[in-house]
Amino acid sequence: MKNNTSWLLVGLLIIASCIATVKVYLYWKNTHFSCTGELTLHRKDNVANVTMQYVFNGDAGAVLLRGEVISNNTLVEQVNQNVFFDFQRKGNDYFLISKSVTDSTGNQTDVSLLKRTFPLFYLEPDAKFFLNIKQLTGSSWLFTTSRSPSLLCSK
Protein backbone atom coordinates (compact mmCIF):
# COMPACT_ATOMS: atom_id res chain seq x y z
CA MET A 1 0.00 0.00 0.00
CA LYS A 2 2.82 2.37 0.87
CA ASN A 3 4.47 1.67 -2.51
CA ASN A 4 1.25 2.52 -4.42
CA THR A 5 0.91 5.82 -2.56
CA SER A 6 4.50 6.73 -3.44
CA TRP A 7 3.89 6.02 -7.14
CA LEU A 8 0.67 8.03 -7.04
CA LEU A 9 2.50 11.02 -5.52
CA VAL A 10 5.29 10.74 -8.12
CA GLY A 11 2.70 10.60 -10.91
CA LEU A 12 0.85 13.64 -9.57
CA LEU A 13 4.14 15.53 -9.24
CA ILE A 14 5.05 14.75 -12.86
CA ILE A 15 1.61 15.87 -14.09
CA ALA A 16 1.80 19.11 -12.06
CA SER A 17 5.30 19.79 -13.42
CA CYS A 18 4.11 19.26 -17.00
CA ILE A 19 1.16 21.63 -16.53
CA ALA A 20 3.39 24.30 -14.98
CA THR A 21 5.92 23.96 -17.82
CA VAL A 22 3.21 24.38 -20.47
CA LYS A 23 1.80 27.48 -18.71
CA VAL A 24 5.25 29.10 -18.46
CA TYR A 25 5.97 28.36 -22.13
CA LEU A 26 2.63 29.78 -23.30
CA TYR A 27 3.18 32.97 -21.28
CA TRP A 28 6.73 33.32 -22.62
CA LYS A 29 5.58 32.75 -26.22
CA ASN A 30 3.04 35.58 -25.93
CA THR A 31 5.60 38.08 -24.65
CA HIS A 32 8.59 37.14 -26.84
CA PHE A 33 7.89 37.49 -30.56
CA SER A 34 8.51 39.75 -33.52
CA CYS A 35 6.60 40.37 -36.72
CA THR A 36 6.21 42.81 -39.61
CA GLY A 37 3.12 44.24 -41.27
CA GLU A 38 2.17 46.75 -43.96
CA LEU A 39 -0.17 49.59 -43.01
CA THR A 40 -2.00 52.11 -45.17
CA LEU A 41 -3.57 54.74 -42.97
CA HIS A 42 -6.04 57.28 -44.43
CA ARG A 43 -6.67 60.53 -42.59
CA LYS A 44 -8.48 63.69 -43.72
CA ASP A 45 -5.83 64.97 -46.18
CA ASN A 46 -3.08 62.45 -45.49
CA VAL A 47 -2.25 58.91 -46.54
CA ALA A 48 0.48 56.97 -44.76
CA ASN A 49 2.08 53.90 -46.29
CA VAL A 50 4.36 52.29 -43.72
CA THR A 51 5.97 49.02 -42.79
CA MET A 52 5.74 48.35 -39.07
CA GLN A 53 8.08 45.90 -37.39
CA TYR A 54 7.11 45.01 -33.82
CA VAL A 55 9.43 43.29 -31.35
CA PHE A 56 8.10 42.08 -27.99
CA ASN A 57 10.71 40.92 -25.49
CA GLY A 58 9.42 40.17 -22.00
CA ASP A 59 7.99 43.43 -20.67
CA ALA A 60 9.66 45.77 -23.18
CA GLY A 61 9.60 46.13 -26.93
CA ALA A 62 10.09 48.28 -29.98
CA VAL A 63 8.27 49.17 -33.16
CA LEU A 64 10.07 50.46 -36.24
CA LEU A 65 8.08 52.48 -38.77
CA ARG A 66 9.43 52.91 -42.29
CA GLY A 67 7.54 54.54 -45.13
CA GLU A 68 5.98 57.83 -46.13
CA VAL A 69 3.09 60.18 -45.54
CA ILE A 70 1.53 61.91 -48.54
CA SER A 71 -0.29 65.13 -47.72
CA ASN A 72 -2.75 66.76 -50.12
CA ASN A 73 -1.53 64.39 -52.86
CA THR A 74 1.73 66.33 -53.16
CA LEU A 75 3.90 66.70 -50.05
CA VAL A 76 5.77 63.51 -49.20
CA GLU A 77 7.29 63.13 -45.74
CA GLN A 78 9.50 60.14 -44.99
CA VAL A 79 8.69 58.17 -41.82
CA ASN A 80 11.61 56.56 -39.99
CA GLN A 81 10.41 56.31 -36.41
CA ASN A 82 11.87 53.98 -33.77
CA VAL A 83 9.59 53.64 -30.76
CA PHE A 84 10.82 51.84 -27.65
CA PHE A 85 8.14 50.89 -25.15
CA ASP A 86 7.25 48.97 -22.01
CA PHE A 87 4.14 46.83 -21.92
CA GLN A 88 1.90 44.73 -19.73
CA ARG A 89 -0.20 41.86 -21.01
CA LYS A 90 -3.51 40.50 -19.78
CA GLY A 91 -4.73 37.71 -22.03
CA ASN A 92 -4.78 39.14 -25.57
CA ASP A 93 -4.76 42.74 -24.31
CA TYR A 94 -1.42 44.57 -24.42
CA PHE A 95 -1.04 47.93 -22.66
CA LEU A 96 1.93 49.84 -24.08
CA ILE A 97 3.64 53.05 -22.99
CA SER A 98 6.28 54.66 -25.19
CA LYS A 99 9.62 55.27 -23.48
CA SER A 100 11.67 56.89 -26.24
CA VAL A 101 10.99 57.86 -29.82
CA THR A 102 13.71 58.62 -32.35
CA ASP A 103 13.97 59.35 -36.03
CA SER A 104 16.48 56.83 -37.36
CA THR A 105 17.79 59.15 -40.09
CA GLY A 106 18.55 62.13 -37.86
CA ASN A 107 16.70 64.35 -40.35
CA GLN A 108 14.08 66.89 -39.39
CA THR A 109 10.56 65.61 -39.89
CA ASP A 110 7.33 67.54 -40.19
CA VAL A 111 6.06 66.57 -36.74
CA SER A 112 2.76 68.40 -37.21
CA LEU A 113 2.05 66.31 -40.32
CA LEU A 114 2.92 63.10 -38.49
CA LYS A 115 0.73 64.11 -35.51
CA ARG A 116 -2.21 64.58 -37.87
CA THR A 117 -1.59 61.07 -39.21
CA PHE A 118 -0.38 58.77 -36.42
CA PRO A 119 -1.38 58.20 -32.79
CA LEU A 120 0.92 60.03 -30.34
CA PHE A 121 2.35 56.69 -29.14
CA TYR A 122 4.46 56.55 -32.31
CA LEU A 123 5.70 60.13 -31.91
CA GLU A 124 6.21 61.03 -28.24
CA PRO A 125 7.54 59.41 -25.06
CA ASP A 126 5.12 58.54 -22.24
CA ALA A 127 2.16 58.05 -24.58
CA LYS A 128 -0.16 55.13 -23.84
CA PHE A 129 -1.47 52.73 -26.45
CA PHE A 130 -3.71 49.66 -26.36
CA LEU A 131 -3.46 46.65 -28.65
CA ASN A 132 -5.46 43.46 -28.75
CA ILE A 133 -3.18 40.83 -30.28
CA LYS A 134 -4.42 37.42 -31.37
CA GLN A 135 -2.06 34.80 -32.73
CA LEU A 136 -3.62 33.39 -35.91
CA THR A 137 -0.94 30.87 -36.84
CA GLY A 138 2.53 30.01 -35.62
CA SER A 139 3.90 32.97 -37.57
CA SER A 140 1.09 35.55 -37.83
CA TRP A 141 -0.79 37.81 -35.44
CA LEU A 142 -3.78 40.13 -35.80
CA PHE A 143 -3.36 43.53 -34.08
CA THR A 144 -6.53 45.51 -33.39
CA THR A 145 -7.26 48.69 -31.45
CA SER A 146 -10.01 51.24 -31.25
CA ARG A 147 -7.61 54.04 -32.21
CA SER A 148 -6.01 52.68 -35.36
CA PRO A 149 -6.75 50.17 -38.09
CA SER A 150 -5.99 46.49 -37.73
CA LEU A 151 -2.61 45.14 -38.73
CA LEU A 152 -1.80 41.64 -39.94
CA CYS A 153 1.70 41.05 -38.62
CA SER A 154 3.79 38.03 -39.63
CA LYS A 155 7.32 36.67 -39.39
- For residues 21 and 94, membership in a common domain is answered with no
- For residues 14 and 87, membership in a common domain is answered with no
The tens digit of pLDDT for each residue in 54-106 reads 999 999 999 999 999 998 878 788 899 999 999 999 999 999 999 999 887 76
Q: How many domains are there within the chain? A: 2
Radius of gyration of the chain measured on its C-alpha atoms: 21
Would the pTM of this model clear 0.85, i.e. be above it? no
Q: What is the mean pLDDT of the chain?
A: 85
- For residues 8 and 73, membership in a common domain is answered with no
- For residues 53 and 5, membership in a common domain is answered with no
Q: Which residue has the higher pLDDT, 14 or 80?
A: 80
- For residues 135 and 82, membership in a common domain is answered with yes
The residue segments making up the domain with residue 7 are 1-30
Q: How far apart are CA 34 and CA 139, in angstroms?
A: 9
- For residues 84 and 11, membership in a common domain is answered with no
- For residues 65 and 137, membership in a common domain is answered with yes
Beta bridge partners of residue 142, listed in sequence order: 134, 152
